[in-house]
């Protein structure tokens, strides 16, 4: 699926009336099958931008076009039909605590399943093999029948990502997929995600805190600051100067979770968990 934002402005859903927009007149085009990382300091509007693309948020000005059509001009049922083609993975994995991992993963298929089939799957998981396969991609196959609240935060985040792999969406929008993962796991998870998206020809847009992860795994990187695009470049052309400008005043974020500008392996041990901010 291709995305076109034309001077799209978006307010955070819980923002007060008259407060500043989180995303201001952003114009951006993403081709079908492209992989794109959005980086920027906290509060830059990354999540809001993702929500605009996911039809989770209606732009207050400008337009968002998905495959050339404006979702907000569609009838409600057509819009819900369009939503089946996109997969939004929020930063906090949306998993009910008492659910089992297998059910949580297979929930990614719900949009393309009949109600009857999904109820049957609740009684006896219909595609255990598929769930096992996608969990294996995230090194979690042993947690298949574990309950969601009995696995760690990082494992939960990867279960949320595994859900994308069972969905049949053609646009994947992933919000901070690595915030609870240690560097090795993070690299592994990103490989699985980008590989699967490439295999299926799905468009992948991810917001990332880890700058060098973004540069290493995504061919195109967009820098967002104060709700506006600072740069939109192929990863190879993003220079330290660009990053300095992007993170000016918030340099600690650049050097914090993202260790160093040099594309080196992370030092051993888990990176600090990024604060969940929206």
Partner 1 sequence: MSHATVTSVPAAAATPTNAPLRDPAWRTRLFWALAGLALLWPMGNLTEFKPWLLAEPGALAPALHFVGSFFPPRTDADFLTLLLQETWRTVAMATAGLTLALLLAIPLSLLSVRVLSLSSLAGRMAVGPGVLRQGVRWLLLVLRSVPELVWALVFVRVVGLGPTSGVLAIALTYSGMLGKVYADILESGDTHATHSLMRNGSGRLQAFFYGLLPQNAAELTSYTVYRWECAIRSSAVLGFVGAGGLGQLMDSSMKMFNGSEVASILLVFMLLVWLADRMSAALRKNLA
Residues making contact with partner 1 (CB under 8 A): 13, 54-58, 76, 80-88, 90, 92, 94-99, 103, 107-108, 110-111, 113, 115, 118-119, 122, 167, 169
CB of 77 to partner 1, least distance (A): 9
Of 11 and 46, which CB lies nearer to partner 1 in the complex structure? 11
Place of tokens 């929500």: 51
CB of 103 to partner 1, least distance (A): 7
CB of 210 to partner 1, least distance (A): 23
Place of tokens 């992948």: 204
CB of 76 to partner 1, least distance (A): 6
Of 113 and 139, which CB lies nearer to partner 1 in the complex structure? 113
Of 41 and 45, which CB lies nearer to partner 1 in the complex structure? 45
Of 34 and 113, which CB lies nearer to partner 1 in the complex structure? 113
Of 106 and 221, which CB lies nearer to partner 1 in the complex structure? 106
Tell me the backbone φ, ψ of residue 81, rounded to 5 degrees.
-65, -40
Q: Pull the structure tokens for residue 66.
A: 């998905």
Cα 168 to Cα 60: distance, rounded to the nearest angstrom: 29
How many other C-beta atoms can be found within 10 angstroms of the C-beta atom of residue 42?
12
- 218, 198, 219, 195: which is closest to 208 by C-alpha? 218
Mapped onto helix, strand or coil, the DSSP state of residue 61 is strand
Of 64 and 214, which CB lies nearer to partner 1 in the complex structure? 64
> Cα dihedral angle (254, 255, 257, 263), rounded to 10 degrees?
90
Contact assessment for residue 121 and residue 100, using Cβ atoms and an 8 Å cutoff: no
Mapped onto helix, strand or coil, the DSSP state of residue 103 is helix
Contact assessment for residue 62 and residue 5, using Cβ atoms and an 8 Å cutoff: yes
Place of tokens 């979690």: 140
CB of 36 to partner 1, least distance (A): 19
CB of 273 to partner 1, least distance (A): 18
Largest CA distance in the chain: 55
CB of 259 to partner 1, least distance (A): 30
Cα 177 to Cα 159: distance, rounded to the nearest angstrom: 11
Of 145 and 191, which CB lies nearer to partner 1 in the complex structure? 145
């Amino acid at each position: 699926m291709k995305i076109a934002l034309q001077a799209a402005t978006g307010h955070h859903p819980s923002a007060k009336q008259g407060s500043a927009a989180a995303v201001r007149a952003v114009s951006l085009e993403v081709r079908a099958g492209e992989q794109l990382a959005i980086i920027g300091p906290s509060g830059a509007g990354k999540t809001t931008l993702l929500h605009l693309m996911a039809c989770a948020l209606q732009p207050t000005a400008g337009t968002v076009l998905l495959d050339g059509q404006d979702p907000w001009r569609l009838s409600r049922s057509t819009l819900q039909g369009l939503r089946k083609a996109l997969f939004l993975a929020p930063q906090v994995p949306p998993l009910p605590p008492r659910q089992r991992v297998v059910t949580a993963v297979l929930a990614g298929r719900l949009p393309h399943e009949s109600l009857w089939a999904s109820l049957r799957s609740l009684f006896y998981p219909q595609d255990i093999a598929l769930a096992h396969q996608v969990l294996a991609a995230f090194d979690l196959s042993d947690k298949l029948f574990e309950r969601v609240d009995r696995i760690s935060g990082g494992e939960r985040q990867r279960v949320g990502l595994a859900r994308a792999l069972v969905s049949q969406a053609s646009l994947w929008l992933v919000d901070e997929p690595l915030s609870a993962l240690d560097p090795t796991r993070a690299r592994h998870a990103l490989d699985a995600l980008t590989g699967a998206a490439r295999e299926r020809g799905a468009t992948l847009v991810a917001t990332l805190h880890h700058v060098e992860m973004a540069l290493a795994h995504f061919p195109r990187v967009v820098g967002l600051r104060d709700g506006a695009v600072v740069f939109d470049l192929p990863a190879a052309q993003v220079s330290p100067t660009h990053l300095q400008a992007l993170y000016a005043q918030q340099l600690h974020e650049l050097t914090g979770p993202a260790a160093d500008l040099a594309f080196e392996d992370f030092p051993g041990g888990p990176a600090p968990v990024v604060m969940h901010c929206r």
